[in-house]
């Protein structure tokens, strides 16, 4: 009888140890790209990484991949595109991804880039909740199509709020966000938030953002680089092992 009781003690200790160990793994993390490690491998590929986000040895990532979009009037700038920039833009100096296009022709060809944003945990697609970020410094001279400024942006998911004196549109392909036809100026100064759109979406695992420029309203010799800034991204990451 005594020997049997002695052997039962370690078994009981092991049974209570397992829940204590699993309690160290987080189920929900509210995070921002301001706390991530950013790696840019080329003008068309970059990734934000949160190492061991939930305490289970798995890294959480937000991967960016850019491809050309639309006509041949614009091209992806190889030096500045997908760089993380903390310079003042859109009225704030926060680390944001720069999207940069070179003007090749002064046409309304819808040329630019489409950037895909994909969330993953340990390489497996993962949904996040309450995603929010800013698209900053949408401006540019009025294009000859009469629909607004040169720079135009739309997303596959999410809704946006903005200063309607400067910005118009629905953020969709047929009606992108762009400068209004009555915007006070063609360009928005870096310290101003007038050209910003604040985007939010409830739940998403990936989305696309398309940035184009129609520079037809410019003088023949005026072919500037076109830039917007995206970020920081804030969201709630959920550990799927807690809901399995």
Using one digit for the tens of pLDDT, what is the confidence trace for 175-216?
999 999 999 999 999 999 999 999 999 999 999 999 999 999
Which stretch of DSSP H or E encloses residue 13? helix 2-22
Specify which residues 113 forms β-bridges with.
68, 211
Q: What number of residues does the chain have?
A: 244
Please give the Cα distance from 46 to 117 (Å, whole number). Answer: 10
Predicted structure pTM score: 0.89
DSSP 71: -
Please give the Cα distance from 37 to 33 (Å, whole number). Answer: 8
- pLDDT, tens digit (0-9, with 9 covering 90-100), for 127-157: 999 999 999 999 999 999 999 999 999 999 9
Q: How far apart are the first and last CA of the chain?
A: 42
Which stretch of DSSP H or E encloses residue 212? strand 206-213
When pLDDT is cut at 50, 70 and 90, the band that residue 244 belongs to is low
């Amino acid at each position: 009888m005594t020997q049997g009781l002695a052997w039962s003690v370690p078994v009981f200790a092991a049974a209570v140890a397992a829940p204590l160990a699993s309690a160290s793994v987080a189920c929900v993390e509210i995070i921002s790209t301001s706390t991530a490690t950013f790696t840019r491998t080329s003008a068309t590929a970059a990734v934000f990484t949160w190492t061991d986000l939930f305490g289970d040895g798995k890294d959480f990532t937000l991967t960016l991949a850019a491809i050309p979009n639309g006509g041949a009037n614009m091209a992806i700038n190889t030096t500045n595109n997908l760089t993380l920039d903390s310079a003042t833009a859109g009225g704030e100096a926060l680390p944001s991804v720069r999207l940069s296009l070179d003007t090749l022709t002064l046409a309304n060809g819808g040329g630019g880039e489409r950037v895909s944003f994909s969330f993953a945990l340990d390489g497996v697609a993962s949904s996040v909740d309450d995603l929010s970020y800013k698209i900053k410094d949408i401006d540019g001279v009025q294009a000859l199509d009469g629909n607004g400024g040169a720079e135009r942006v739309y997303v596959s998911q999410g809704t946006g709020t903005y200063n309607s004196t400067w910005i118009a549109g629905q953020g969709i392909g047929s009606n992108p966000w762009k400068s209004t036809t009555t915007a006070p100026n063609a360009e928005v100064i870096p310290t101003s938030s007038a050209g910003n759109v604040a985007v939010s979406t409830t739940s998403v695992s990936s989305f696309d953002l398309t940035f184009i420029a129609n520079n037809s309203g410019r003088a023949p010799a005026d072919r500037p680089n076109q830039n917007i800034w995206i970020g920081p991204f804030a969201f709630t990451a959920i550990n799927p092992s807690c809901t399995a």
